[in-house]
Chains A and B, each alone.
Chain A
Amino acid sequence: MEVSKELILNALWETLYMVSVSLFFGGIIGIFLGVLLVVTRKGHILENRLIYSSVNPIVNIFRSIPFIILLVAIIPFTRLIVGTSIGTTAAIVPLVLHIGPYFSRLVENSLLEVDEGIIEAAKAMGATPLQIIYRFLMPEAFSSLILSLTTVTIGLIGATAMAGAIGGGGLGDVAITYGYQRFSSITILVTVVILVILVQAIQEIGNRLERKARRI
């Protein structure tokens, strides 16, 4: 059977929809948790053992569950949040829970790379912890955060392929249901080519933004 143009375009749209919405929410969660993981650690500006030692393992747990398992394991939670457990929107909930903790680790790494001297200077001029975070840490880590976000975005594209398991749709789903299960090599080829172009484009945009942030 032939794959229609509409089918592919529709799948592309579904992929972009899932990626962008879950990137938005996952990004917020990732930045929040990443900052929390940094500032509450020992010796940092808001050292708090209780918060650090609870957030840290939670992030690890989510990072260790394979996405395909997470997808089905949290179905009741998904239904609670978006009212349904199948479809594109329903896929967003596990995608967010998958990507948020992953991103938080990358954010954590980026922020830890910021020179401690800068934090010291901030403290010396009487900055509040919140000011230290958004006036010093975030700007200094900005270019590195862009690259992390790029990595996460590309990771999300891969993860959406599995969203087909709960009827999420998207390019990966088309590749499996039309291409693999119905032996349509051309479908696989087309979707894969689109995915490759998508990933290349995102990486390129990410690199350019990062270079711009570093003023190169």
Chain B
Amino acid sequence: MIEFRQVSKVFDSGGKKVEALKNIQLSVNKGDIFGVIGFSGAGKSTLIRTVNLLEYPTSGEVIVKGKNLAKLSHNEIREAKKDIGMIFQHFNLINSRNVFHNVAMPLLLSGYNKKAVEDQVYETLRFVGLEEKANNYPDQLSGGQKQRVGIARALVTNPSILLCDEATSALDPETTKSILNLLKRINEEYNITILIITHEMEVIKEICNRVGVMEDGQIIETGSVYEVFAHPKTATTRNFVKSVIRDEVPQSVYQLLKEKDHFSRIFKIEFFGADSGQPIVSKTAKIYNVEINVLFGNITELQGIPFGNLVVELIGDNYEIERAIEYIISQEIEVKEVIEDGSEQRIDIERVVGNALHG
């Protein structure tokens, strides 16, 4: 649907060359909700702008539905843009025009007749749930409503691609959720391919099926959201993952490790799909002669698959504990032991026990 082939973009600002995009290689498939995440300045805004030629690539090609837009004539580009809707962080509505007029604008530009415009606009407004606000002006709307107008405006020409440029970054968490739900509905009901750029991992977690992580003008990691969340390869990605799933072991666990007066070992069990947390814990407790005490848990759901970690204390004799852990590992679940770091009197080293136990 959208394919970036060796796309580079160099900005020339006062004789200084800034490389915003470096050899971007990325493809977005039809029906995807593809999220590009990165900190500000990573180049993601520039990336999304090359799709509808708000920015022209310095080199490389952006192929949209089989066509390299940059090679088309001005008229052909304008036509092609009607198939690519775009929404913005700051909505970019015409403040001097009411909601109806704002949504109608793309149709007015194409010279549709009045009746067709009216039908189309009201249908789209109904879809985004703003039918009764048609005669209001943007400054009379809340942020969420403004973004809905922006979405309606982007959808009114029935595009097959929707570009979202930090579409929820100016909204509060509650409104963000509702806008994300709306985007998901757009993807499902109209089968519109969505490309989202954001710095909020929450957005990726909520609706994307595939993700690309961007840093310093490059895509440093890409894959299904699940893959990338479960096995982040770079520090940047790990940081983003941490922003939605707390990965570190809380202090209280270390405290307990130090102060407990019975024999036990503490493990961090990481769930990447497969079975969810509880059955494994209770099964293990049933089969082996260990007591399992859940100290801390952070399980969320990614595209319907449970994902996260549990910190558990296994109480029993060492042999049983080892066997129990071996069992858990055999269920394709990663386990790390939480141990005390002697040198610092603090316990913050996680030893991977998988290999030791198997080897």
A125 to B81, Cβ gap below 8 A?
Answer: yes
Q: Is the CB of A121 within 8 A of B95?
A: no
Bound together, the chains give a CA A118 to CA B77 distance in angstroms of 19
Q: What secondary structure prevails in chain A residues at the interface with B?
A: helix
Is the Cβ of B86 less than 8 Å from the Cβ of A121?
A: yes
**A120 within 8 Å of B by Cβ?**
yes
Q: Does A108 contact B (CB under 8 A)?
A: no
In the assembled complex, the Cα of A133 lies from the Cα of B164 at a distance in Å of: 25
Q: How far is the CA of A139 from the CA of B94 in the complex (A)?
A: 8
Contact with A along B129-170 (1 / 0, CB 8 A): 000000001000000000000000100010000010000000
Shortest CB–CB separation between residue A176 and chain B, in angstroms? 43
Q: How far is the CB of B277 from chain A (nearest CB, A)?
A: 44
**Contact mask for chain A residues 103-147; partner B; CB cutoff 8 A; 1 contact, 0 none:** 000000000000101101101111110010001100110110000
Residues of chain B with a CB closer than 8 A to A139's CB: 94, 96-97
Contact of B109 among A120, A125, A213 (CB under 8 A): A125
A5 at interface (Cβ–Cβ under 8 A)? Answer: no
In the complex where A121-B92, A139-B96, A143-B96 touch, is A128 in contact with B105 (Cβ < 8 A)?
no
Are the C-beta atoms of A125 and B92 separated by less than 8 Å? no
- Nearest CB of chain B from residue A108's CB, rounded to whole Å: 19
Residues 50 to 93 of chain A near chain B (Cβ within 8 Å): none
Task: Say whether B82 contacts A117, CB under 8 Å.
Answer: no
- Complex contact A140–B105 (CB within 8 A): no
Q: How many residues of A contact B (CB 8 A)?
A: 20
Complex Cα–Cα for A136 and B54 (A) = 17
Of A118, A127, A143, A213, the contact of B92 (CB 8 Å cutoff): A118
Given contacts A120-B88, A135-B109, contact A125 B95 (CB under 8 A): no
Within the assembled complex, what's the spacing in Å between the Cα atoms of A139 and B101? 12
Whether B265 is near chain A, meaning CB under 8 Å from some CB there, is: no
Contact A117 B79 (CB under 8 A): no
- Which residues 43-68 of B sit at the A interface, judged by CB distance below 8 A? 52, 54
Q: Is B106 a contact partner of A125 (Cβ separation < 8 A)?
A: yes
Q: Is the CB of B54 within 8 A of A140?
A: no
Taken together as a complex, chains A and B put the C-alpha atoms of A131 and B95 apart, in Å, by: 17
Could you say which of A117, A124, A215 contacts B81, with CB atoms under 8 Å apart?
A124
Query: A125-B82, A140-B95 are contacts. A117–B137 as well, Cβ < 8 Å?
Result: no
Q: How near does chain B come to A119, taking the closest CB pair, in angstroms?
A: 9
**What is the bound-complex CA distance between A118 and B93, given in angstroms?**
6
Q: Which chain A residues border B90 with CB–CB below 8 Å?
A: 115, 117
Complex Cα gap A213–B94 (Å): 13
Q: For residue B53, which residue of chain A has the nearest CB?
A: A123
B88 contacts A131, C-beta separation under 8 Å: no
* B106 / chain A contacts, CB cutoff of 8 Å: 125-126
> Distance in Å from the Cβ of B103 to the closest Cβ of chain A?
11
Chain B residues with CB under 8 Å of A143's CB are: 96
Query: Within 8 Å CB of A140, what residues of B?
Result: 94-96
How near does chain A come to B192, taking the closest CB pair, in angstroms?
A: 15
Question: Are the CB atoms of B92 and A115 closer together than 8 Å?
Answer: yes
Instruction: Evaluate contact between B137 and A128: CB separation under 8 angstroms.
Output: no
Given the complex of chains A and B, what is the CA–CA distance between A125 and B95 in angstroms?
17
Does B88 contact A117, Cβ atoms closer than 8 Å? yes
CA distance A160 to B106 in the complex (A): 45
CB A123 to nearest CB in B, in angstroms, measures 6
Q: Nearest B residue to A118 by beta-carbon distance? A: B92
Q: How many angstroms between the C-alpha atoms of A131 and B54 in the bound complex?
A: 16
Which residues of chain A have C-beta atoms less than 8 A from B82's C-beta?
125-126
Q: Please judge, given known A-B contacts A117-B88, A117-B90, A135-B109, whether A124 and B96 are in contact too, CB under 8 Å.
A: no
Distance A131 CA – B90 CA, assembled complex (angstroms): 22
Q: A residues near B, CB below 8 A?
A: 115, 117-118, 120-121, 123-128, 131, 135-136, 139-140, 142-143, 213, 215
Instruction: Return 7 A-B CB contacts under 8 Å, by A number.
Output: A120-B54, A123-B54, A124-B163, A125-B82, A125-B105, A140-B94, A140-B95
- The list of the 4 closest CB pairs from A to B, nearest first, reads A126-B81, A126-B78, A117-B92, A121-B92
Besides A126-B80, A140-B94, 5 other CB < 8 A contacts? A121-B92, A126-B82, A127-B78, A128-B78, A140-B96
